[in-house]
Chain A
């Protein structure tokens, strides 16, 4: 599995290097979670991305779009070659994902704190329809500064949205601004189920994300490393929004081999 993840990471850095754009470290932080979801959890059909019975995934921290694009391409929602136009003037693929342009993207995100409320609405809609769709949303720990996250936490709990899972990419990038502390306890105090997991351990992620019969909305606090897999990128704030030079690209590709 590490081979597949490294392959996706190599694709991401090449795309970023070509476009001179992208939040690579954020993408690497969530790539393991994204892969487990799309490879083993989500009920989706790339040939029919809007099938009404599908599970819904929303990347609320839209700046990590390169992870979503790489995984969607790998799963056949569109051809790899389209990604080569990442951030070009006429590309479908911008710095943040756009659901009116890209098959498989469920919400246009970028401004933080929007994806989880939308996910709450979709989960509520499924409950009204008595449908079985499950909604998964990834938010960042910095994004959890936003009031809408906690407004959403209240709504999801009050309306008993057991069909909603919020995965927090807890890479601690917000520690320098606002300490979020024990996020599992915070969600729990809002009436959610919550669990802390290693956000890079595929089997642990699979176990918690595949769990059936939740009675409450579930917060999965995924402890992650920003820039995971590249030594000089890991937990290095310089790499939050930076594209690799040719030399750096060579170094990164070497590390990811």
Chain B
């Protein structure tokens, strides 16, 4: 199931079981939630296209004992309402959920206004913020149910992409997908698909991170004997580097990266066309892992 469809199913189910949940849609996903609108008219709102006040109001709902779920396209919730997330939720220790669609350049054809590869790196700079990147629909369901009412602000980054298979994921924990000796590959969210294909026959460890904040340092420490890391991220490259260095300190480590370069993607087309230009393909990862292994 796509992440978006699973999102509707999961939220509808929790609206029914948890009367503290309030859903605020930024005028997207409205048709998908038509049943929720009729079943829970007091707790499901098409709040409109005013993201900053929406996040502020969501904080007020949290202060009143509700669990807000705010949903719109990634740049509009994270970049436009960043200060509200920082101050009204993170600083003031309020719990709430921010669920985006349009990961990085999922909406390639819509252009740079609708791209948001900076979201994860930006949020990693905000204390108390939790950041979750599922790689499959049912992973979203598991992760959301584990974290949605934990009293912290949590960002769930939905993507149009899906990994080939899903894993038994746990909030705050990385999965050890495969063990090997020559390098450790960290695959975040939907980056796992290419990593699995590129590393199928290689003697490397693959760690799959669906939660990047809080960062599971322990799993990395236990699975990085080689001191060589290929960091594969589906957003602006290198956001996790500081966490990796901190986790392994004082052990020396070589980090190679595969992620979105920090530039505006000014072409349109399909996301796969951008992947190719940016080297974010199976072949691109094969090149990088082979170079890393042979250093």
Which chain A residues have a beta carbon within 8 Å of chain B's beta carbons? Answer: 99-100, 106-108, 110-111, 113-114, 116-126, 128-129, 147-148, 151-152, 154-155, 158
Q: Nearest Cβ in chain B — how far from A12, in angstroms?
A: 25
Q: Nearest Cβ in chain B — how far from A26, in angstroms?
A: 20
17 chain-A/chain-B pairs, Cβ below 8 angstroms: A114-B56, A114-B83, A116-B56, A117-B55, A117-B56, A117-B57, A120-B53, A121-B56, A122-B60, A122-B61, A122-B63, A124-B60, A125-B66, A128-B42, A148-B56, A152-B57, A154-B50
Find chain A residues with CB under 8 A from B52 CB: 113, 117, 147-148, 151
B56 and A120 contact, CB distance less than 8 A:
yes
Query: Does any Cβ of A come within 8 Å of B65's Cβ?
Result: yes
Find chain B residues with CB under 8 A from A128 CB: 22, 42-43, 66
Q: A100-B93, A147-B52 are in contact. Are A123 and B60 (CB under 8 A)?
A: yes
Q: Nearest Cβ in chain B — how far from A112, in angstroms?
A: 11
Query: How many chain B residues touch A (Cβ–Cβ < 8 Å)?
Result: 29
Q: A114-B87, A114-B88 are in contact. Are A121 and B59 (CB under 8 A)?
A: yes
Query: Does any Cβ of A come within 8 Å of B92's Cβ?
Result: yes
Could you give, for residues 177-218 of chain B, a 1 whenever the CB lies within 8 Å of some chain A CB and a 0 otherwise? 000000000000000000000000000000000000000000
Closest 4 A/B residue pairs (Cβ): A121-B60, A117-B56, A125-B64, A151-B53
Interface residues of B in 27-67 (CB under 8 A from A): 42-43, 47-48, 50, 52-66
Find chain B residues with CB under 8 A from A122 CB: 60-61, 63-64
Of A114, A116, A126, which one neighbours B64 at CB under 8 angstroms?
A126
Smallest CB gap from B51: residue in A: A151
Q: Nearest Cβ in chain B — how far from A36, in angstroms?
A: 24
Find chain A residues with CB under 8 A from B88 CB: 114, 117-118
Query: Does any Cβ of A come within 8 Å of B257's Cβ?
Result: no
A117 and B64 contact, CB distance less than 8 A:
no
How distant is the Cα of A110 from the Cα of B87 in the complex, in angstroms? 10
B43 and A120 contact, CB distance less than 8 A:
no
B50 and A118 contact, CB distance less than 8 A:
no
A129 and B60 contact, CB distance less than 8 A:
no
Find chain A residues with CB under 8 A from B66 CB: 125, 128
Of A108, A111, A120, which one neighbours B57 at CB under 8 angstroms?
A120
Q: Nearest Cβ in chain B — how far from A118, in angstroms?
A: 4
A148 and B53 contact, CB distance less than 8 A:
yes
Q: A128-B42, A148-B52 are in contact. Are A155 and B84 (CB under 8 A)?
A: no
